Structure 1
Amino acid sequence: MTSTIDIQNGDLTDERVLRLLADHLDDMFATSPAESVHALDVSALAASGVTFWTIADGDDVLGCVALKELDPEHGELKSMRTDAAARGRGLGARLLEHVLAESRRRGYRRLSLETGSQDFFAPARALYAKYGFRETGPFGDYALDPHSVFMTLELA
């Protein structure tokens, strides 16, 4: 049987998606102080200005990502997560490529993100750097925080 990896708009009422998001938040709070956790909960992911996608293999939801519009030329990558059992399959790269394509389609000139500074987040930081993201200072409503790494990619 051939697997078909598919990225589509995420259903924030789907139990599989809710489990993935709960795991994401659990990991964020386990690795960072509460005041340094900037992950979006379900209600924030459903807000206007945020687009949420999942990546699935058949009926298995394996990951998710969101894109938040900060202004008409600047987007923020949010809630990027691959299920622990599915890591190492290139799904994070597929999700990131999807958001990059959508950001360019929308005409964004810049895409930024906040991630953790702890070792747990090193694979994510390496993936972002591989795609050209560079460390920068805080953007949007963020403040300087030793538990956060801010990265941006110029798309123009």
Structure 2
Amino acid sequence: MIHIDQDDPARGDVSRLLNEHLADMFATSPAESVHALDPSALSAPSITFWTAREDGELLGCGALKVLDSPHGAATHASKKHGEIKSMRTTAGARGRGVATLMLRHILDAARTRDFERIYLETGTEDYFAPARRLYVRNGFTECPPFGGYTLDPNSVFMELRL
């Protein structure tokens, strides 16, 4: 059975997966279009980080970052927004539904915390097509850049109203 729990991004196997993720992002996209976070950035107080494991074996990870004002304007205090960060599945776990389980876990956490919207950024290259399909299947739609992002031909910005 797959279990999803909060975890430390600096943990050995997790750090290796995140470094692999970063290497793939830099190999796939121009450096200025890579927005993946390293393990230390994922340890920030505004980020909750989870891993998916089966019998102790790491299968994937994902994070939820609290956004202060996604479009640069002041938001009403009761409206909370978040961003999905560092969704990654290990090569051996791909095709097993781990990403879907992680995404649903993150969205459930956001709903529990009364978030109004969840945003994400992903790539436009073919490499990212499975991720884009996953997000669309789960109700995400394209939106303008949010937070500190700017228009970028290598990025797709998406949102989900909860």
Q: Which interval holds the TM-score relative to the shorter structure? A: over 0.9
Partner of 1:21: 18
Residue 135 of structure 1 aligns to which amino acid in structure 2? E
Native 8 Å contact 2:121 2:158 kept in 1: yes
- Count of residue pairs brought into register by the alignment: 152
Out of 9-18 and 60-69, give the one that drifted further. Answer: 9-18
Structure 2 length as normaliser, TM-score?
Answer: 0.92
| Matched residue, 1:126 | 133
CA-CA distance at 1:13 after TM superposition: 3.0
Q: TM-score, normalised by structure 1?
A: 0.95
Question: Per-residue displacement from partner, 1:125-152 (whole Å, max 9, x unpaired)?
Answer: 0000000000111001000000000000
Letter in 2 for 1:46: S
Match of residue 69 from structure 1: 66
CA RMSD of aligned residues (A): 0.8
In 2, Cα distance between equivalents of 1:13 and 1:51: 13
Deviations 1:28-77, CA, capped at 9 Å, x for gaps: 00100000000011111001110000000112101000000003510000
Counterparts of 1:22 and 1:54, CA distance in 2: 15
Give unmatched runs, 5+ long, in structure 1: none
> Residue in 2 aligned with 1:80?
87
Q: Which runs of 5+ in 2 are unaligned?
A: 69-78
Identity of aligned residues (%): 58
Counterpart secondary structure, 2:37: coil
Counterpart in 1 of 2:108? 101
The amino acid of 2:56's aligned partner reads D
Question: 1:12 offset after TM fit, Å?
Answer: 2.4
Structure 2 partner of 1:53? 50
Q: Secondary structure at the match of 1:26?
A: helix
Query: Within 2, Cα distance between the matches of 1:113 and 1:12?
Result: 19
